[in-house]
Structures are given as structure tokens and as C-alpha cells.
């Protein structure tokens, strides 16, 4: 304890690095349990995957060193990858931002409701994310035969004369996957925003009213958003991970592989090579490229929000 007080006032210098470490040993002790499990089950596997991206690895024989060959093949020799990139960019730069703002707007609107109703509406909006597989119900709704709920309804109303293959026709399938992805996307960011709104000091609104804030829009812009920057950044990272990583929903709804690869994303491409073709080295190279793209996006958003 005494040490803490003594050194607290000394400005940080490069040469007393070790003293800094010793002074903060409590911090390292608090980090120890989490970081040891994290290193074992996340850091090592991620580093191993990046390492494997420079090899040929079919899961049966030991990996063989390939240098940059996987990356060269990926950028110069893989046409399906281009489709995957195009679809992933749609998710990343259309679906991602839309669902980010939807999370924010709905969290804010729900926060305006009286408490009982607020808890209920939070459940309604979050419920699609609760189950890992509830989105499969959309297969029944969008089914391509006359038993599909959408087809049979449109035929009953006379809009269609014969059933449409909503999920296998390349003209429509991405559009419906986007709808389902948006339906699913009020997840972690949304709940973090709800919790963030609960954490804002209510007296700031009273002070704001005295300072001339007249309506709820001004309140949102001048008080609410600036006070929940950490949550906004958290939400952005979660949205990046979710929208760059869209995969199981594409495979489940559009089939795998989808018609002419029309619903292929980067992660379904990874799945194809890693799980179906046993080319783990190549799959890891794709994952590494995706990883870099996500980090760049995250850093840009961090700059925009001026936080981390």
C-alpha cells in the first residue's frame, strides 16, 4: 500500500519499466486467470491458424511449408473468392451499418417506454438472437414450393401464378438473406446499448434542460450519444464481427453450395476449404485476409468515434 502512494506521483519513464511492473503487480494478478485461459484457447489457436496459412495442411499429414503460395492463389487464381468478397462487402457495408443504426435507434426508442413495457419490448426485439437456430423457421416461410408461407399467400392473393424459388434463385436469395440477417442482428450491440442507456446519469438531462435543450433529438445528440461512446465502440466491433462473418445463415437458407455460388460469403468459402475439402492451410489464409480487413475497418471506426 505504501509503495502505491509513493510511486503514484512519479512520472512514467522508460528506464523504470520494471518498477512500473512491480508496482502494478495487483493488476497483473487480476489479469492472470483470464489471460491464462485466453492464451490457451484463443491466442494459441489464432497464432497457429495464421502460421498454418503459410502451409499446405490436409489434417492427415503434417503441414508442409508453402510460403506465400496460398495468398497468391487466393488473389490471382480463385474466381469464387471474388463472388465471396462481393457478397461479404454487401453484408459489411450495407447490412452492418443498417443493423448498427437499427440497434441504436430501437434501443433508444425502447428506453423511452415505461419500465414494464420496456422489458417486454427488449425481449421481443432480442428474441431472434436468443436461439442459435431459430432463423431456420424462415426456411418454412420462404420455401420454394407451394407449401412455403410466402408463396402460398402470394398465390392466394393472385400476385403469383406459380411458386418462386426465393432461396435458390440467384435473383432473390441474397435479398432474403439480408432480410433474415437484419432480423437476427439486434443482438449483442442492441443489449449493450440498452444497458449503456441505463448507465447514463439522469441528472445530466436535468442540467441539459437548464442549458437550453428543448426536445428528445437534441438530448440524444448532445447528451446521450457522447456519454455512451464506449458502448458505441463495443457495438461497432460486434457488428463488424457479425457482418463480415455471415455464414451459417447463408448455408442454411440458400443451401451449400448455393446456386452458382450466388450466396457465397468469405466465411462460407473458409468453411468449404476447411471442412469440406480439407485444405486447412488455404482456409487459414482466407481467414487471415478477412482478419486484416476487419481490423482495418475497426480502426477506421475507432478514429471516427475517437475512442477504443
Residues 233-272 interacting with another protein (rule: CB under 8 A): 233-234, 237-238, 240-241, 244-245, 247, 267, 270-271
Touching another protein, residues 150-179 (CB under 8 A) = 152, 155-156
Does residue 199 bind another protein (CB under 8 A)?
Answer: yes
Among the listed residues 98, 160, 168, 298, the single contact to another protein using CB under 8 A: 298
Tell me whether residue 174 or residue 192 sits nearer to another protein (CB atom). 192
CB-based contacts of 307, cutoff 8 Å, min separation 6: 229, 230, 232, 233
Tell me whether residue 143 or residue 173 sits nearer to another protein (CB atom). 143
Tell me whether residue 135 or residue 261 sits nearer to another protein (CB atom). 135
Q: Residue 23 burial by CB count (10 A; 0-12/13-18/19+): exposed, middle or buried?
A: middle
CB-based contacts of 64, cutoff 8 Å, min separation 6: 55, 56, 57
Q: Residue 145 and residue 226: Cα distance in Å, rounded?
A: 50
CB atoms near residue 1 (< 10 Å): 5
Q: Are 193 and 229 in contact (CB under 8 A)?
A: no
Cell of 196: 449503456
Touching another protein, residues 36-65 (CB under 8 A) = 37-38, 40-46, 48-49, 52, 59
Minimum separation from the CB atom of position 271 to another protein (A): 6
Tell me whether residue 170 or residue 246 sits nearer to another protein (CB atom). 246
Touching another protein, residues 70-129 (CB under 8 A) = 106, 109-110, 112-115, 118-119, 121-128
Among the listed residues 10, 171, 195, 304, the single contact to another protein using CB under 8 A: 195
Q: Which of 38, 84, 40 is nearest to 283 (CA)?
A: 84
Amino acid at each position: 500500500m505504501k509503495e502505491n502512494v509513493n510511486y503514484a506521483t512519479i512520472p512514467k519513464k522508460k528506464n523504470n519499466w520494471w518498477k512500473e511492473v512491480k508496482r502494478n503487480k495487483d493488476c497483473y494478478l487480476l489479469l492472470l486467470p483470464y489471460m491464462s485461459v485466453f492464451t490457451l484457447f484463443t491466442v494459441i489457436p489464432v497464432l497457429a491458424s495464421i502460421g498454418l496459412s503459410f502451409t499446405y495442411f490436409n489434417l492427415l499429414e503434417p503441414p508442409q511449408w508453402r510460403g506465400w503460395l496460398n495468398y497468391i492463389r487466393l488473389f490471382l487464381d480463385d474466381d469464387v473468392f471474388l463472388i465471396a468478397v462481393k457478397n461479404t462487402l454487401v453484408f459489411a457495408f450495407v447490412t452492418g451499418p443498417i443493423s448498427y443504426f437499427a440497434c441504436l435507434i430501437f434501443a433508444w426508442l425502447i428506453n423511452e417506454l415505461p419500465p414494464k413495457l420496456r422489458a417486454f419490448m427488449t425481449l421481443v426485439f432480442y428474441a431472434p438472437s436468443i436461439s442459435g437456430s431459430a432463423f431456420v423457421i424462415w426456411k418454412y416461410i420462404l420455401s420454394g414450393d407451394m407449401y412455403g408461407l410466402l408463396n402460398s399467400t402470394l398465390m392466394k392473393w393472385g400476385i403469383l401464378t406459380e411458386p418462386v424459388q426465393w432461396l435458390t434463385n440467384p435473383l432473390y436469395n441474397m435479398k432474403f438473406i439480408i432480410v433474415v440477417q437484419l432480423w437476427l442482428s439486434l443482438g449483442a450491440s442492441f443489449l449493450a446499448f440498452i444497458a449503456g442507456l441505463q448507465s447514463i446519469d439522469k441528472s445530466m438531462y436535468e442540467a441539459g434542460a437548464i442549458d437550453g435543450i428543448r426536445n428528445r433529438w437534441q438530448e440524444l445528440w448532445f447528451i446521450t450519444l457522447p456519454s455512451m461512446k464506449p458502448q458505441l465502440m463495443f457495438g461497432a466491433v460486434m457488428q463488424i464481427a457479425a457482418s463480415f462473418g455471415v455464414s451459417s445463415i447463408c448455408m442454411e437458407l440458400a443451401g451449400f453450395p448455393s446456386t452458382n455460388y450466388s450466396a457465397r460469403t468469405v466465411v462460407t468459402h473458409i468453411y468449404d476449404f476447411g471442412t469440406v475439402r480439407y485444405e486447412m492451410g488455404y482456409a487459414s489464409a482466407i481467414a487471415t485476409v478477412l482478419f486484416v480487413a476487419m481490423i482495418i475497418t475497426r480502426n477506421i471506426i475507432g478514429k471516427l468515434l475517437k475512442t477504443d
